[in-house]
Amino acid sequence: MTVLLALEEYAGPASLTQLAAMSGMQPSKIHRYLVSLSRIGLVSQSPSSGLYDFGPAMRRLGAEALRRMDEVGLASEYLPGLRDRTKHAVNLAVWGDHGPVVVRWDYGSYALPITVRIGATLPLLTSSVGWVYLAHLPATLTDPVVKAQPMAPSAEEIGRIKDEVRRDGFAVTSGGVIPGVTSVAAPVFTTGEALPLVVALALPAQHATPQVLRDISADLLDTTGAMSAEIGHQPAPPGRTRAGGRVRRSATSA
C-alpha cells in the first residue's frame, strides 16, 4: 500500500528512484514490491520509458469503486450532525442544467421565512451556493447561466466574488434571495475532475453576528473537508505541485 500510495501521490508515471523517494524506501526494496504488484496487474511498467504506473487491475478496482459510490448519499450522512451542532438549517446542492439544484434540506431550530422544495434551482449570482459554484466550476458551465440573467454583474465583480470564495474557502450572502436570511456555503470536492457538491447553512439574519459566522463557517469547513475525504478527494500538500502540474459576500439564503 505504501508503494501504491506513493504512485498515487506522484500523479503520473514514475521511475523507481522517484517512487523510492516518495515512499521513503530503498530502491532495492521497492523494486521487489513493484515486481509483485506487476504480477497481479496493480502496477505496470512501460516497455519504452521504464516508468511505472497503475496497471489494468488497479483501473478495474477504481472504476468499480466509483460505480458503487453514491456521492450525495455519503455527503448526506454528515448533514444531521452539522445541523445539530449549529442549530441552523442545512442543505446540499448539486449542479444542474440551469444552476445549483437542492437535493436535500434539513430545517434547524430557528424558523425561516422560506419553504424549500427539493429539486428547486438556486440563483447563481445571489446565493451563497451559487457563488461557490461560480468560483469552482469552469466558465464554460457557468457563463451560459450568467448571461441568461437579466442584470448580470460586471466581469470585474464576478472576478472579485470568485477570488474571495477561493481565498476564504466559503461564501456568505444575506438577503439576496429571501430577505432576512443569511447563508454560508462551502464546496464538497469529489474525485478527479468531477463537479463538486455544495453544503450550506441558512440562518435568520439577526443571528448572523460576526462571532456566529466565524463559528459556523469553521464547523462547515471541517464538515465539508470530512465529506470530501470520505468521497475520495485528495488535496495536494501545501506548497507542493503534483507532477505534470496537475494539482488546483452579497446577499442570500441558500
Does residue 108 surpass a pLDDT of 60? yes
If DSSP codes are grouped into helix, strand and coil, which group holds residue 34?
helix
Instruction: State mean pLDDT over 55-61.
Output: 87
Give the max Cα distance, the chain: 66
Measured CA to CA, the distance from residue 58 to residue 41 in angstroms comes to: 7
Does residue 136 surpass a pLDDT of 90? yes
- Beta partners for residue 198, in sequence order: 93, 187
pLDDT over 90 for what percent of the chain?
A: 53
Cα 196 from chain centre: 4
Span 110-125, pLDDT tens digits: 888 777 778 888 999 9
Residue ranges and CATH numbers for the domains of the chain are 2-68 (1.10.10.10), 71-245 (3.30.450.40)
Q: How confident is the model at residue 96 (pLDDT cuts 50, 70, 90)?
A: confident
Give the pLDDT of residue 175. Answer: 82
Does residue 51 surpass a pLDDT of 70? yes
Q: How confident is the model at residue 67 (pLDDT cuts 50, 70, 90)?
A: low
If DSSP codes are grouped into helix, strand and coil, which group holds residue 29?
helix
Q: How confident is the model at residue 72 (pLDDT cuts 50, 70, 90)?
A: confident
Give the pLDDT of residue 71. Answer: 79
Measured CA to CA, the distance from residue 138 to residue 251 in angstroms comes to: 23
Tell me the pTM.
0.68
Mean pLDDT of the chain: 85
Q: Are 205 and 189 in contact (CB under 8 A)?
A: no
Length of the chain: 254
Measured CA to CA, the distance from residue 203 to residue 93 in angstroms comes to: 17
Does residue 47 surpass a pLDDT of 90? yes
Classify burial at 102, counting beta carbons within 10 Å of its beta carbon; exposed 0-12, middle 13-18, buried 19 or more. buried
Q: How confident is the model at residue 244 (pLDDT cuts 50, 70, 90)?
A: very low
Give the pLDDT of residue 69. Answer: 54
Q: Which of 42, 34, 38 is nearest to 17 (CA)?
A: 34
Does residue 126 surpass a pLDDT of 50? yes
